[in-house]
Chain A
Amino acid sequence: MTVVDDRPATEVGSPRRRKEDARLIVGRTRWTDNLTLPGMLHLAMVRSPYAHARITSVDADAARQAPNVVAVLTGEDVKDIQGGLPCAWPITPDQKAPTHPSIAVDRVAFAGEIVAVVIARSPGEARDAAELVDVEYDELPAALELKAAAADQTLAHPDLGTNTSAVWTFDSGAAGTGGDVEAAISAARDGGIVIEREYRQQRLIPAFMEPRSFVCDPTGEQLTIWSSTQVPHFVRIFTAAVLGIPESKIRVIAPDVGGGFGGKLQFTPEEVITVLAARHTGKPCKYTETRSESLVSAHHGRDQWQKLTLAATADGHVTGLKVELLADMGAYLGLVTPGVPILGAFMFNAIYTFPAYHFTCRNVFTNKTWTDAYRGAGRPEATYAIERLMDELAVEVGVDPLEIRERNWIRHEQFPFTSVCGLEYDSGNYEAATARAKELFGYDDLRAEQARRRASNDPVQLGIGVSTFTEMCGLAPSRVLGSLSYAAGGWEAASVRMLPTGKVEVVTGTSPHGQGHETAWSQIVADRLGVPFEDVEVLHGDTQVAHKGLDTYGSRSLVVGAEAVIRAADKVIEKARVVAAHLLEASVEDIDFANGSFTVRGTDSAQAMAEVVWAAFSAHNLPDGFEPNLDSEATFDPVSFSFPHGTHLCAMEVDTETGQTTMRKYVAVDDIGTIVNPLIVHGQVHGGIVQGVAQALWEEAVYDDAGTLVSGSLVDYTIPSSADTISLTVDQTTSPSTTNTLGTKGVGEAGAIASTPAVVNAIVDAVRHLGVNDIRMPCTPERVWTAIRGASGSGGPSTAAAASHLGAGAPNHDPDSGAATQGGAQ
Chain B
Amino acid sequence: MTRITVTVDGTRYTDDVEPRTLLVQYLRDRLGKVGTVVGCDTGNCGACTVHLDGRSVKSCQLLAVQTDGHEVTTIEGLANGATLHPMQEAFRDCHALQCGFCTPGMIMQAVDLVTENPHPTEAEVREGLEGNLCRCTGYHNIVKAVQQGAGAMSGGQS
Residues of A at under 8 Å CB distance from B? 17-18, 20-22, 24-29, 31, 33-34, 124, 207-211, 256-259, 261, 290-292, 513-516, 679-680, 682-684, 686-691, 713-715, 719-723, 725, 727-728, 751
Contact = CB atoms under 8 A, between A and B. Distances in A.
Given A209-B101, A259-B98, A25 B138 contact: no
B100 A713 contact: no
B144 to A, nearest CB: 8
Contact of A723 (B28, B38, B127): B127
Q: Name the prevailing secondary structure of the B interface residues.
A: loop
Contacts of B6: none
A687 B47 contact: no
Given A29-B35, A714-B133, A727-B122, A256 B100 contact: yes
Contacts of A683: 95, 98, 136-137, 141
Interface centre among B93, B129, B138 (most CB of A within 10 A): B138
A261 B135 contact: yes
Nearest to B44: A714
B42 A715 contact: yes
A261 B98 CA distance: 12
Contact of A210 (B28, B35, B91, B99): B99
A25 B97 contact: yes
A430 B6 CA distance: 61
Interface of B: 20, 28, 33-42, 44-45, 47, 74-76, 78-79, 84, 88, 91-93, 95, 97-104, 107, 122, 125-127, 129-144
A211 B39 contact: yes
A714 to B, nearest CB: 4
A18 B45 contact: no
Given A714-B42, A722-B125, A25 B91 contact: yes
Contacts of B91: 21, 25
A18 B92 contact: yes
21 contacts: A20-B100, A25-B75, A26-B88, A27-B75, A28-B35, A29-B35, A31-B34, A210-B99, A258-B100, A259-B136, A513-B99, A514-B99, A515-B98, A683-B136, A691-B138, A713-B41, A714-B45, A715-B42, A722-B126, A727-B140, A728-B138
B133 A17 contact: no
A278 to B, nearest CB: 20
Interface centre among A29, A691, A751 (most CB of B within 10 A): A29
B119 to A, nearest CB: 18
B79 A209 contact: no
B41 A514 contact: no
Nearest to B36: A27
A675 B87 CA distance: 28
A21 B97 contact: yes
Given A515-B98, A683-B98, A27 B76 contact: yes
B23 to A, nearest CB: 15
B130 A723 contact: yes
Would you list the 4 A-B pairs with minimal beta carbon distance, nearest first?
A27-B35, A258-B101, A24-B100, A514-B99
A722 B143 contact: yes
A27 B97 CA distance: 12
B128 to A, nearest CB: 8
B102 A722 contact: no
Nearest to B37: A31
Nearest to B146: A722
Contact of B138 (A207, A208, A690): A690
Contacts of A728: 138, 140
A261 B136 CA distance: 9
Contact of B103 (A24, A211, A516, A721): A24
A33 B142 CA distance: 25
A5 to B, nearest CB: 21
B60 to A, nearest CB: 10
Contacts of B20: 124
B95 A680 contact: yes
Contacts of A513: 99
Given A292-B42, A721-B131, 17 more contacts: A17-B93, A17-B95, A22-B92, A25-B103, A27-B33, A124-B20, A209-B45, A209-B47, A259-B101, A292-B41, A514-B100, A515-B98, A683-B141, A686-B137, A713-B40, A720-B139, A722-B139
A797 to B, nearest CB: 33
A133 to B, nearest CB: 20
Contacts of B39: 209-211, 291
A27 B84 CA distance: 12
Contact of A257 (B88, B99, B135, B142): B99
A671 to B, nearest CB: 20
Nearest to A689: B138
Interface centre among B38, B88, B126, B135 (most CB of A within 10 A): B135
B46 to A, nearest CB: 9
Given A25-B91, A686-B137, A722-B129, A209 B41 contact: no
A606 B36 CA distance: 51
B76 A26 contact: yes
Nearest to A294: B40
Contacts of A719: 133, 135
A687 B91 CA distance: 16
Contacts of A688: 138
B102 A209 contact: yes
Contacts of B99: 208-210, 256-259, 513-514
Contact of A34 (B34, B104, B140, B141): B34
A713 B141 CA distance: 26
B86 to A, nearest CB: 11
A17 B41 CA distance: 33
A31 B42 CA distance: 21
A211 B40 CA distance: 8
Interface centre among B127, B136, B141, B144 (most CB of A within 10 A): B136
Contacts of A292: 41-42
Contacts of A210: 37, 39, 99, 101
Nearest to A28: B35
A721 B130 CA distance: 5
Contacts of A682: 95, 140-141
Nearest to A515: B98
Interface centre among B34, B98, B101 (most CB of A within 10 A): B98
A594 B50 CA distance: 50
B143 A727 contact: yes
B59 to A, nearest CB: 13
Contacts of A33: 34, 37-38
B132 A25 contact: no
A547 to B, nearest CB: 24
Contacts of B92: 17-18, 21-22, 25
A723 B45 CA distance: 14
A21 B45 contact: no
A543 to B, nearest CB: 21
Nearest to B142: A722
Nearest to A25: B88
A34 B68 CA distance: 24
B95 A291 contact: no
A210 B99 CA distance: 9
Contacts of A725: 126, 138-140
A46 B91 CA distance: 40
Contacts of B104: 27
A208 B135 contact: yes
B140 A291 contact: no
A29 B37 CA distance: 10
B35 to A, nearest CB: 2
